[in-house]
Amino acid sequence: MQQVEFLSVSKEDIKGSFDKSLHNPDVNLSLIAEELSEFMLTEVAPFVMNSYRDASKSILTKHDGSIVTETDRAVEKMLRQKLLELIPDAAFLGEETAAEHADRATELFESDYVWVVDPIDGTANFAHGIPNFVVAPALMKRDGDKLVPLFGMLLMPADGIMIYNDQDNAYLTDLATGTTEILGEHSSQSKVVFDSGHLIDPYLVWDSKELETVVNFSATLAHAVYTILGKGRAMAVGGRFWDIAAMLAPAEKAGLKLFDADSGTLIDSFGVDDFELSAGKYLWLVKNSLILAREEDVDMIREHLYSSAN
């Protein structure tokens, strides 16, 4: 991995570039990465870790039966404010407020840019003192009637790492030292596979020559971080839009692609028909089961799925 030093850019230069970028085909991802990295490291990570260490934090239950903490809601509010400063005309989809706008869900596909945020992926882990949780903003760009992944940031404050991308590369930041390195292409021959969608048959894995272990940390984006870093060969994915959005662009820059688990078809964009958009428990659920893997590994991974999923 190659160490990176960001160019020194003033706040005025950044704001001017953002203002101009709204009238250009593409935003400046390098400037977004720099501005958002600073915010995540100096504001979000300390706030989340202070809450993580607080044994008295309240745990609430949402309408869909999942749990939420006040930290989830506070982080989403922090990120919404910051992200809409960076691109004021962008739409915003956050896990903790999505239900409030369910009747307008399809309008997101009419916006040129959409921020998709999971304020804490792995809330149960966070709430119970388990370090596998991720703060995850993502930027999608409209291409016709589809949304295409443009940028993602995966902050694991308890692990002290952050992954993100710009237009050219994926990067890894060490929170303890503040150093940032370019991530090379995923080339791991690991025999670990992560499973967020309960798609992989462990009996097939145990009998496999290619794989040995199925791991589920109950945090899809933690699986994504470890897969991008080569700790796992691939990952099976199921969940809502915010459960996957932030991993897509960094993973692609690291040589990983997203595939339909049933057909093996490459997925590089998302449209209205790819989601459950009726109000209720499954709002923004991705309808198809997915696999994140290198192209040469996807068929092998699909051979280890439960028969009902393949």
pLDDT one-digit tens code per residue, 103-117: 999 999 999 999 999
**% of the chain surpassing 90 pLDDT:** 82
Q: Does residue 264 sit in the same domain as residue 287?
A: yes
Query: What whole-number distance in Å separates Cα of residue 212 and Cα of residue 165?
Result: 30
11/157 same-domain check: yes
Q: Which helix (H) or strand (E) holds 220?
A: helix 220-228
Residues 94 and 205 in one domain: no
Same domain membership, residue 152 and residue 6: yes
113 and 50 share one domain:
yes
Same domain for 236 and 145? no
Q: Which two tokens stand for residue 215?
A: 């791991």
| Rounded Cα–Cα distance for residues 139 and 103 (Å) | 22
Last residue of a domain, one of 139, 156, 183: 183
Q: Are residues 165 and 243 in the same domain?
A: no
Co-location of 227 and 164 in the same domain: no
Give the domain extent around 157: 2-183
Q: Which amino acid is at 56?
A: S
How many folded domains does the chain comprise?
2
For strand 67-69 and strand 59-61, is the pairing parallel, antiparallel, or unpaired? antiparallel
Same domain, 121 and 264: no
The reported pTM is 0.90
Look at residues 162, 183, 204 and tell me which one is the last residue of a structural domain.
183
85 and 168, same domain (yes or no) = yes
* Confidence bin at 187 (pLDDT 50/70/90): confident
We report the CATH number of the domain holding residue 292 as 3.40.190.80
Give pLDDT tens digits for 188-217. Answer: 899 999 999 899 999 999 999 999 999 999
Residue type, 10: S
Do residue 176 and residue 211 come from a single domain?
A: no
Q: What is the pLDDT of residues 21-55, one digit of tens each?
A: 333 346 899 999 999 999 999 999 999 999 999 86
